[in-house]
Structure 1
Amino acid sequence: MRITFMAKVACCALLIPIPAVAEFKRVESESEFRNLLTDKRLESGEAWLLLQPDGKLIGEVETQPVVGAWIWSDGAQCSNGRIGKNPETGTICHYWEVDGKTARQLSDRGRSEIKVYAIGE
């Protein structure tokens, strides 16, 4: 019996591993946030952040130092910081979602930009 070209392609396609679709889960509580994201290096392109358990925030954006502070408020991580010698950002609250070693930061309680970070050690 002769197998057609399309049947061969279909069979081979079944053997190719397909990456799982990301299933981000919203961080709902301060204890969950602390467990998943504090004291871990969060990296995104030319930036990294470290949200410390004592409420301090440090990092770097395009070789400029980042310093600031964070608190948990009404289901969000809120921070005020400074990049380099720029003025403070003012308080901005972020929702966070996590899928394994990847985190998404939804700025302004999900009303602004989304940043994706790799969660390091």
Structure 2
Amino acid sequence: MHSRIASALIVALGLGAATAPAAASEFRVVTDRNEFVSLVDGRELRRFGIRLTVTPDGEIGGSGFGQTVFGAWEWNGNFFCRDLGYGSTDLGHNCQLVAVRDGTIRFVADQGQGDHADFRLR
């Protein structure tokens, strides 16, 4: 059960090798902290079995497949950098490129060089 949750969160949060790297060409890249906050403030980020909130004051919370998701974030240069965990598992630190298109926000791990995950903004 824990491996299923970990795999899903890793894929959904753009950390693992389970999804192919993707260019953000059809998406508009977000490089400004204030724009990012305006996109996520007061909204829920959803992806099959995962619901997250990202607050303007640097907190991440929510749930993934019945487990509590928690973390912190900061904006560094042009990237969303976060420390994240769920249950008692620490997923670590990762700086990600953020892009947006039509109510979908995309996070691309490893400063835009890694795997990606798309979330619906609700």
- Give the structure-1-normalised TM-score: 0.75
State the shift of 1:41 in Å.
Answer: 0.4
User: SS of the counterpart of 2:88?
Assistant: coil
Counterpart for residue 94 of structure 2: 92
User: SS of the counterpart of 1:109?
Assistant: helix
Maintained 8 Å contact 1:39/1:53: no
User: SS of the counterpart of 1:39?
Assistant: coil
Aligned mates of 1:117, 1:81 — CA distance in 2: 16
Gaps of at least 5 residues in structure 2 are: 1-24
Kindly indicate whether residue 53 of structure 2 is the aligned counterpart of residue 50 of structure 1.
yes
State the shift of 1:38 in Å.
Answer: 3.0
Aligned mates of 1:25, 1:89 — CA distance in 2: 27
Gaps of at least 5 residues in structure 1 are: 1-21
Query: Within 5 Å, which residues of 2 pair with 1:60-79?
Result: 60-79=63-82
The structure, 1 or 2, with the larger RCO (C-alpha pairs under 8 Å, 6+ apart) is: 2
User: SS of the counterpart of 1:40?
Assistant: coil
Counterpart for residue 24 of structure 1: 27
Whose Rg is larger?
1
Kindly indicate whether residue 119 of structure 2 is the aligned counterpart of residue 112 of structure 1.
no
State the shift of 1:73 in Å.
Answer: 0.3
Counterpart for residue 40 of structure 1: 43
- Give the structure-2-normalised TM-score: 0.75
State the shift of 1:35 in Å.
Answer: 0.9
State the shift of 1:32 in Å.
Answer: 0.8
Counterpart for residue 102 of structure 1: 104
Instruction: Letter of the 1:38 partner, please give it.
Output: D
Aligned mates of 1:92, 1:104 — CA distance in 2: 14
